[in-house]
Amino acid sequence: MLRRVAVCAVLCVAAVAVASEDKGKEAADLPKVCECGADYFRVDEPRLNGKPFDANKPVVLKIVEPAEGQSYPAGTKKIGVKFRLENYDLPTEEQFAKHKGGNHVHVILDNNPYAACYDVGKPFEIDVADGAHVLRAFPSRPWHESWKNDEAFAMVRFTVGADDGKHKVDPKGPVLTYSRPKGSYTIDKNNKAKSNADEVLFDFWAKNIDWSTQRPVVEITGPDGKKIYNKKFSKWDSDCIKGKFKKAGAYKVTFKLLDKDGKEIDNGGLNSTERTINIVEVDASAAPAAPVAAPAVPAAPVKAEAKEEEKEEKKEEAKPDEAAKKAEEAKKKADKEAAKKAEAEKKADEEAKKKADKEAAKKAEAEKKAAEEAAKEAEDEKKKAEEAAKKGEEKKEEPNPEAKKEEKKEDVKKEEKKEESKLDKEAAKREEQFQKMAQKAADEARKAFAEAEKARAEGKEVKAKVEEKKEEKKEEAKTEAKKEEAAAKSE
């Protein structure tokens, strides 16, 4: 935005004043408010100075529509994005018309430059094309510095028509979102201290970043290709780029998320961004300068500057629309060319298929004919062979009687040998059976003898036991007789 930058001392005093008021989570846990271009600090109006209603509560933003995974019909060109914003208000129409700015929401489709939404009370229209898209949004202060608490970031993936597989983002993985710088900035060739390119805000949104192993890195190169700015962020913060944009021309901004080894970390194509910003030389000496306001007095916008700022803001906001329109036209042209090419290729394929089918049929016919001729020749050769064999059989002489007798004798001998062999085999078989039977009988005899021996031994043992019992009974009888004799004597 083309806005007059206040004197450094004024900004410092204002920044301190706001920092003392912004207590709670924003002041305690999150990056400090960046002073870069923050002339709205001096406006005592929450809708214009980037302050929440309650400094002890977080700013909350939700995307109500589209919902996660929502699908729109193919060919849809525009959709209305609906938000729910808490603890943060946006300017009224009158305030926006008067100040040409205020609190707003940065709305980012895919990885394009953001569009600024100043009214969440109605759907915010964005241009879309067929395919998958990811939508990110977060509240911003009037000078485009983002709110950096978890609840202030919203992200959804949706589709228009078929899902082409793009922008598959892991919501639990690291997501880096580029925000500023954007568009054009000016150098006052007569007084560069008054140029808004002298202090340029660099800002981004970091979600799920592991600061122990991951680093967002930004690099800016000038029109001559030389590096003018490079920074590796070890924590989440904004940065004010001072006095680096000294020449007019196009500057390339590259922003990436790297791991500890310097390798890029991808997540759906969102963690690597390239932007071009333009630095333009102007001569503001021709326009009357507005007096610098005191710290305690709200800044009154300069009319000429506000018009220029509004024109530049509209130009910046129109760029995505124009780019989208051009992209849509290019897509239509490409689709038309592709359809035409596909039709031509289809026709060529059909012609080639017809030709190939014709050639194949012709070849098959020739092969069939050749096969039939070969079969006929083979049949003729077979007939000739059969005729020759027949003639040979007719010419064959009968064998003489002596040869026949000898042949008969040989046959008899063969039969005799065959019979002898048969008898030998039978005898051998019977001998084997006899041996087996004899072996079996011998085994059984040995077994019976062993059993008899066992029985004899058991008999002896039983007899010995019986004799032992008899002896025991004799001894008992003797003992009893002695007892009786002793008893008789005692009587």
pLDDT at residue 18 above 50?
no
CA-CA distance, 263 to 150, in Å (whole number)? 26
pLDDT for 23: 35
The answer to whether residue 276 scores a pLDDT higher than 70 is yes
Q: Report the DSSP pairing between strands 78-86 and 175-180.
A: unpaired
How far is Cα 186 from Cα 202, in angstroms, rounded to an integer? Answer: 16
- Encode pLDDT of 23-64 as tens digits: 333 333 456 566 565 555 556 677 877 888 888 999 999 999
Condensed to tens digits (0 to 9), the pLDDT of residues 62-72 reads 999 999 999 99
> Which pLDDT value is given to residue 4?
36
* Spatial separation of the C-alpha atoms in residues 302 and 4, rounded to whole Å: 8
pLDDT confidence of residue 16: 33
pLDDT at 2: 34
Query: Comparing 238 with 456, which gets the higher pLDDT?
Result: 238
Residue 149 has a CB neighbour count (10 Å cut-off) of 18
CA distances from 387 to 377, 380, 391, 394, 398 (A): 15, 11, 6, 11, 20
> For position 326, what pLDDT does the model report?
65
The pLDDT, as a whole number, for residue 271 is 95
Predicted TM-score (pTM) of the model is 0.54
Tens of pLDDT, residues 355-373: 777 877 887 788 788 888 8
pLDDT at residue 450 in the model: 85
Give the SS3 label for residue 207.
Answer: strand
Structure confidence at residue 297 as a pLDDT band (50, 70, 90): very low
Q: What's the pLDDT score for residue 398? A: 54
Indicate the domain borders of the chain: 8-338
Range scoring the smallest mean pLDDT among 124-133, 134-143, 161-170, 445-454 = 445-454
The reply to whether omega before 66 is within 30° of 0 (cis) is yes
Q: Which two tokens stand for residue 199?
A: 């202090």
Q: Residue written as tokens 């039978």?
A: 426
Percentage, residues of the chain above pLDDT 70: 78
For the chain, what percent of residues have pLDDT higher than 90? 40
**Of the ranges 79-83, 84-88, 343-347, which one carries the lowest mean pLDDT score?**
343-347
pLDDT above 80 for 339: no
pLDDT higher than 50, residue 288 = no
Pairing of strands 71-72, 154-160: parallel
Distances (CA, A) of 14 to 5, 96, 463: 13, 22, 131
For the ranges 120-124, 285-289, 417-421, 435-439, the one whose mean pLDDT is highest: 120-124
Q: Which two tokens stand for residue 91?
A: 């300017």
Tens digit of each residue's pLDDT (9 = 90 or more) over 180-195: 999 999 988 777 666 7
What would the pLDDT profile of 300-329 be if each residue is shown by its tens digit?
A: 333 333 344 445 555 555 544 565 566 567
Tens digit of each residue's pLDDT (9 = 90 or more) over 443-485? 888 888 888 888 888 888 888 888 888 888 888 888 888 888 8
> Is 21's pLDDT higher than 50?
no
Which own/partner contact pairs does 284-287 have at CB distance under 8 Å and 24+ positions apart? 284/186, 284/188, 284/190, 284/191, 284/194, 285/188, 285/190, 285/191
Give the pLDDT of residue 321.
52
Residues 6+ apart with CB under 8 A from 67: 156, 158
